[in-house]
Amino acid sequence: MGDLTGRTAIVTGGGSGIGRACCKVLAEYGAEAVAADINLEGAEKTAESIQEQGGKARAVYLNVVELESVKEMMEKVYHECGRIDILVNSAGILDPTRVPDMTVEKWDRLIDINLRGTFFCCQQALPYMQKTGKGAIVNIASQAGQVGGWMAGVNYSASKGGILALTKALARHCGPLGIRVNDVAPGQIATEMTAGRGDTPDGIALGRLGTAEDVANAVYFLASDLSNFCTGMTVDVNGGQFMRS
């Protein structure tokens, strides 16, 4: 049930960090991984590293802020691959701006990339998934969206809280279509985006920071048939730093 052979998996933000790790893990289980990123060079490096290991992958340009770019990317992938089975929305930015220093420009830019971009990628993928009557969407949320980000700005926490709610709303809409929508909420993960932030494992039950691969393994579970009765669900990947009651 965990075999993804024959499936096409689009990963936004696939040019680095968690997105790159998701591409690699999904390809290891047989999917053709499509690294979609505004940083095309990074996406190409992701695809090349997978191909060198014998996996199937390709790179495409994507600017999640521009709806036309999202549409063109989905059309291109469907035309070249013949199907879209999995969508992982990992594209996003981090902003540490605090409340007194928040500006309209900072707020809008982050919300546009993290939340609006996630929605329109989901929206534009749905018609292609409906062609096969089955699909899996995995959104990357954050622990910051659940408890507030102590090292992230309020705009970041708001965007990730929005993704948590968006996931549930889409799960209700997509369930009758045979499409599952879930999300992963990482805690403190050591990636290029968080480098230099001063994260420590204090308060993490497992005593270490998470890795991009830790997140990617949870994404794989939700993308595969191993979770075929799971939708509208959040998988916490935080080492026990935040435990639900």
Q: Which residues are catalytic?
A: 156
C-alpha dist (Å) from residue 245 to 21, 242: 30, 10
Element at 195 (helix H, strand E): none
> CB of 177 within 8 A of CB of 130?
yes
Report the first-to-last Cα separation within the chain, whole angstroms.
Answer: 30
Q: Rounded to whole angstroms, how far apart are CA atoms 146 and 157?
A: 8
Q: Rounded to whole angstroms, how far apart are CA atoms 95 and 87?
A: 25
